[in-house]
Amino acid sequence: MGAVLGLNIPYARNMPAGLIPAALADTPEGFRIPGKHEGLVVLNDRPLNAETPAYLLNDDITPNDRLFVRNNGFPPSNVDASTWTLDIGGESVRTAKRFTLEELKSRFPKQTLQLQLECGGNGRSEYRPRARGNQWSTGAVGCPEWTGIRLRDVLEECGVQDSAVYIGYQGADRHASGDPTKSAISRGVPMAKALEDETLLAFSINGGEIPALHGAPLRLVCAGWPGSTSGKWLTRIDIRDRVHDGTKMTGKAYRVPCTPVAPGEAVDESEMCIIESMPVKSLITSIRSGTVHPVNEPIRVGGHAWAGDLEVRQVELSGDFGQTWSTCELREPPNRLAWQRFEGELTFPVEGYYEIWARATDQAGRMQPMLVPGWNPKGYLNNACHRVAVRVA
């Protein structure tokens, strides 16, 4: 590996067997999407899915042009916010109602929160055997500032019966096949999550209109859970008396084995459990892989960490493939379910190839694994330590 890199690897003895150096793994391809930074990497164009390289995510509040794109179908055409409506129904609603977008904005208290979204398949590309689906690396995550109203306020106006178990959403996006009878995606969350203060019906992002690719004019934001629970182009929410059974809620979609399995092992659908809170994770954003840095001079390392429904308790850095770790400064989140900024320093003693690794621990004591965690058929929940390559010269 040293020959391929053209550099000595001072801590080569510590490298786990089979590890691909981050310098070789980081090969993003630029592709221009209207309204997006030219550095976003397109993984699929039918429907459009694109991720953001880590070094473009250094802002505390993710700008619109750097927020990843995740679509299961095609966005609706000819959206008119002035005629947009949201229906509230289902088996466990007391009074089904329809609201115009203007009624939602004027009748319920608004709030603005910085809320983190991450695709459940973020990191899928590292699993072996390879899992089907968009081969996300680390960039299907962001933490913009959302403005909207609490979903709870709207549901409570309609009345939530004691039999309520789940909510399920419907959106105006079109199925990738073009079949108008099929739904692109219809997921949901348990009532406890739906009724949290931070679960929003959002109509604004970063102080402006939500872009078409991100669900304009109305979307759900259920931060801390897979991004697929945050339905876009929202037209209906049902209060269900059962676990929602919409498109991509059944089978193996957004589910992992209830108990660990061997890589490549077949898993029956009955043994798969729905993903809820996302695992603890961190991302180095202040340094791009391939950075050249002087020997024996401290390098400042910054990034973000998050932990699903929980806060992050600690972030550490390693420059010797995980043999030693130094603790970072860690900011409090601006509000619940926002990511947290970390900063730290490392110094490299001799010239050569190094990797900076980041490792976060949540408030329950759960720590990121150094390498890819337990395999699952759909390649979800990879929260392995993020790695950035540095050439010291």
- Indicate which CATH number applies to the domain containing 223: 3.90.420.10
CA pseudo-torsion sign 32, 36, 42, 46: negative
270 and 298 belong to one structural domain: no
d(CA 179, CA 182): 6
For position 25, what pLDDT does the model report?
Answer: 61
Lowest mean pLDDT among 74-83, 93-102, 346-355: 74-83
Q: What is the mean pLDDT of residues 2-8?
A: 72
CB 318 within 8 A of CB 264: no
d(CA 331, CA 25): 30
252 and 283 belong to one structural domain: no
Residue 92: inside a domain, yes or no? yes
What CATH number does the domain containing 21 carry? 2.60.40.650
243 and 350 belong to one structural domain: no
Residue 58: inside a domain, yes or no? no
Residue 308: inside a domain, yes or no? yes
Mark which of 251, 274, 297 sits at the end of a domain.
274
For 212-256, write each residue's pLDDT tens digit. 999 999 999 999 999 999 999 999 999 999 999 999 999 999 999
For position 19, what pLDDT does the model report?
Answer: 65
Residue 42: inside a domain, yes or no? no
pLDDT category at 28 given cuts 50, 70, 90 is very low
Residue 239: inside a domain, yes or no? yes
Residue 325 has pLDDT above 50, yes or no: yes
266 and 282 belong to one structural domain: no
Residue 96: count of CB within 10 angstroms of its CB: 13
Residue 164: inside a domain, yes or no? yes
Mark which of 274, 291, 323 sits at the end of a domain.
274
In terms of pTM, does the model score above 0.85?
yes
Tell me which residue range forms the domain holding 309: 2-28+278-392
260 and 290 belong to one structural domain: no
Q: What is the dihedral of CA 327, 332, 333, 334, to 10 degrees?
A: -150
Residue 240 contacts by C-beta under 8 Å, 6 or more apart in sequence? 90, 91, 92, 164, 165, 166, 167, 168, 188
CB 338 within 8 A of CB 298: no
157 and 285 belong to one structural domain: no
151 and 176 belong to one structural domain: yes
CB 57 within 8 A of CB 285: yes
Residue 151: inside a domain, yes or no? yes
Residue 288 contacts by C-beta under 8 Å, 6 or more apart in sequence? 53, 54, 55, 388
For position 26, what pLDDT does the model report?
Answer: 54
d(CA 84, CA 315): 44
Residue 79 contacts by C-beta under 8 Å, 6 or more apart in sequence? 172, 212, 216, 217, 233
Share of the chain above pLDDT 70, in %: 96
Query: Among residues 231, 223, 315, which one has the least CA distance to residue 277?
Result: 223
295 and 347 belong to one structural domain: yes
267 and 305 belong to one structural domain: no
Q: What is the dihedral of CA 207, 212, 214, 220, to 10 degrees?
A: 80
For 339-373, write each residue's pLDDT tens digit. 999 999 999 999 999 999 999 999 999 999 999 99
What does residue 98 show for φ and ψ, rounded to 5 degrees? -120, 135
**Cα 371 → chain centroid:** 19
Half-sphere exposure of 354 (CA within 13 A, CB side): 28
Mark which of 256, 274, 292 sits at the end of a domain.
274
254 and 330 belong to one structural domain: no
Residue 37: inside a domain, yes or no? no
270 and 287 belong to one structural domain: no
Q: Total structural domains in the chain?
A: 2
pLDDT category at 3 given cuts 50, 70, 90 is low
185 and 217 belong to one structural domain: yes
Q: What is the 3-state secondary structure (H, E, C) of 104-128?
A: HHHHCCEEEEECCEECCCCCHHHCC
